[in-house]
Amino acid sequence: MFSPTGEIVEAARSANVGVGAFNVITVEHAEAIVAGAEAAGRPVVLQISENAVKFHGGRLAPIAAAARRVAELSSVPVGLHLDHVESDELFDQAAAHGFGSAMYDASKLPFEANVAATKAAAGRGRAAGIWVESELGEVGGKDGAHAPGVRTDPAEAAAYVAATGVDALAVAVGSSHAMTTRTAALDHALIAALTAAVPVPLVLHGSSGVPDDELRAAVRGGLVKINIGTALNVAFTGAVRSALEDAAVVDPRKYLKAARQAMADTVTHALRVVTEL
């Protein structure tokens, strides 16, 4: 069943658990994420990034419509989130294409410019019924931005949320985008300080590189929305490689079925990690 992202996140926050938010690139991703959530019996968020929209030729409508329909047919609550949006034009399309939330990403801008752009976007989003996430400073892994060791300052984060009016904040606490190994060590003292300072739900980007025990500790410390993307692609690609070892396989359904199941299993495991603390 489709559910607004904000409701899913607030329910998780009230229950002191996390909610998994997984990146959608293909329809198989959306199907796998929902299948994995149903197997775990947990709510989930489907995320379509601006980069995924670019992959689909800059057309948001087809992949958004497919993901929204997969969400509606699910037996568990499923949110639909437009992620890492730098384009104002794309951000303003979110509500029309069935999204309940969007992440406006002005993190490459200086602080004051980030505040101004994000405040304006949050106002437009609120008027359209969109729950708005943002990011203060860049999380690592994006073209070398955000060097290792850089962290979100709690006082600055609190001021940023107050100034922009966003509904959730992604913070830099030691994770990094696009990690294919699970070796990230999070700053749990900082997580506790951010949780105490910031009144809105906190979001962890780059969670694919974070070990299970670190994720559990992060959720116990106050992180709520746990974003995962690369782990699904690792599972997808591994399953496809294995299936194509048989040179006789030419029907894409044979290897995409295996890839979809591998992603679903990854989702089920991750959701259990962030909810069974």
Signed CA dihedral, 202, 205, 208, 213: sign only: negative
Q: Phi/psi at 107 (nearest 5 deg)?
A: -70, -15
Give the pairing type, strands 223-228 and 78-85: unpaired
- Helix (H/G/I), strand (E/B), else coil: 57: coil
Looking at the chain, list the stretches that DSSP marks H as alpha helix, in order from N- to C-terminal side: 5-14, 27-40, 50-55, 61-72, 88-91, 111-127, 154-164, 188-197, 212-221, 230-243, 252-275
Catalytic site residue from 83, 105, 167, 187: 83
Please compute, for residue 96, the number of CA atoms within 13 A of its CA located in the half-sphere on the CB side.
9
Give the Cα separation of 171 and 199 in Å (integer).
13
Instruction: Please say if 83 is a catalytic residue.
Output: yes
Which residues form the catalytic set? 83
